[in-house]
Amino acid sequence: MSKEFKVHELLVIKSIAETINQTNDLEILLNSVLRKLVELTDMHAGWIFLAEDCSDYYSCPADYQLPEALEADDRKLLTTGSCWCLDGYWNGKLKAAVNTIYCQRLDQAVAYKYGDTEGITHHATIPLTAGNRRFGILNVAAAGKEHFSQEELTLMESIAFQVGTAVERTLLYQSQQKRADLYSKLGELARDLGKLLITEQIPDLVTRWIGEQLGCDYAAFFMEENGGLSRRTSWLDGKVQHRRKLYTIKQAGEAGLAFLSGETQQWRRKPKEQHKVHAISKDIRMAIAVPLQFRDKPIGVIFAGSQCRNFDEVDVELLEALSGHITLAYENARLHQQQLDLLKWEERNRLARDLHDSVSQMLFSLQFTARGMEAMLENPPEMVKRAVKDMQDLTQSALTEMRSLILQLRPVGLEQGLLTGLYRYGKAQGLVVINCVEGMLDLSSRVEEALFRIGQEALNNTRKYAGHPQVQINLKQQQQLVCMEISDQGDGFSPLKIDGTSTLGMRTMRERAESLGGTLEVDSRKGEGTTIRVLIPNHK
């Protein structure tokens, strides 16, 4: 190495070091360094690829004095497709600075007449590294230069190591800034979630937040349903979609795996696999799926996907923190609903007691007095007899209405028990209802009302859609859960085809079960009947 080159090398390295320390913005940093490098080494052009070790995704955040051919069509030749440099980087063969004899991008520019290459036919390729970490590739070229000396390559390697170290530092800085910003916004979301008192509002808010804050092309909120995952809301084309769809665990892909394993799943698809359509959403190349768990039981999954954006550890960390806030929001909403139900039942009971103890007793006394008057009168005028008779009839009617009002403070039909009420309701619908109860059940009023309302809706569906009048209702207790199954022998249907929120009244039934911390499952097949299964905790 000549003394003159050694001095020049030191000056270049010093100048690059000074440039590197001027900013923490990665794109500005790379473009500034690249420009300084090209000018100080008498090169004509340069460009930088940032790429990850385990993904075929890359970007070109910096370039300087590109020839017309590489600049054409918004740098299409630099931002699409692969090349020898990137292939060597991904397969681990590019470990040091090399002369690139064959440049696929320059050859394509000539073959397809993208424009003038301005005498550039070859370039040097240098990996950007910092310790054991790799960040991408630095390329430099000069018109008419077909070979770079070992001294030049060594200099490029020294500069590339400086750049790699600066990239590592900048990415770490940006990661900390991003973490602080997103956690601040997560705190705001947590406060908004805490204000929601209806569980159905939670997926909408969460999906919108993921889509907007993580810059996703696609996001989704899944809840467990009928042995699969029901998509409650999704983020697509910059807005929230409310069309539900039920997936089997296998169809749900990474979301299904996250649900089964209880662990976060991160996934990338290579460009060569682009023809494979993702079951959840097409064109998704990168994705994160985070399970939602409540008391160590999986209840759903949140999913974020992108066509080209690469998710980092901050995104994963944030979504995992978000999952905890979601389960708390569900529990808070359910507790609030239970509190409202309890207050409602207490008020109903108070009104029933007051009506029975005061108004009903006074009406009974009035009726008794009217009968006494009739017995005391001997040969009263016809007008008096009619007045006394009217008084008796009116008080009897008033007592009957009062009893009806008292009974209506509980769901109509429940006054003689849950199964009896459902039997009478089904009979009124023209159904043949067979009841079966296992053991002695002591149901809380809230659970009894919820089961009655769900049973009514299920019997309505049987009448409308089953095509067969017979239905069986089984009621039993499984540990701390009450299980009610309503089965018919009708035409059946495919639950996987239900993609509307009100189809067959499923939404109403499911909301009633979920408001008490329970679940609703549908087991049905074409031609094999339908079974609605409700599981609700029975806490007195």
Amino acid at 90: W
Q: Which residues does 223 contact at the CB level (< 8 Å), separation at least 6?
A: 203, 229, 230, 232, 292, 299, 300
Residues of the chain with pLDDT under 50: 1, 5, 274-277, 499-502
User: What pLDDT does residue 278 have?
Assistant: 54
Query: Given this model, what pLDDT does residue 407 score?
Result: 53
Taking residue 101's Cβ as centre, other Cβ atoms within 10 Å add up to 11
Give the pLDDT confidence score for residue 2 in this predicted structure: 53
pLDDT at residue 11, as a whole number: 79
**What are the strands, taking DSSP E only, across 237-322?**
239-241, 245-247, 265-268, 286-294, 297-306
- Look up the pTM and report it: 0.65
Q: Which long-range contacts (CB under 8 A, 24 or more apart) does 84-93 make?
A: 85/49, 85/125, 85/137, 85/139, 86/49, 86/51, 86/58, 86/137, 88/125, 89/49, 89/51, 89/127, 89/134, 89/136, 89/137, 90/51, 90/53, 90/56
Cβ neighbours of 172 (radius 10 Å): 11
Which pLDDT belongs to residue 202? 92
CB half-sphere exposure, 79, CA atoms < 13 A: 11
pLDDT of residue 354: 64
Structure tokens at 182: 């997103």
Q: Which of 441, 368, 354 is nearest to 405 (CA)?
A: 354
Q: In this structure, which amino acid lies at residue 196? A: L
The SS3 of residue 259 is helix
Confidence at residue 275, expressed as pLDDT on a 0 to 100 scale? 43
Residue 75: name the closest of 84, 64, 86 by CA.
Answer: 64
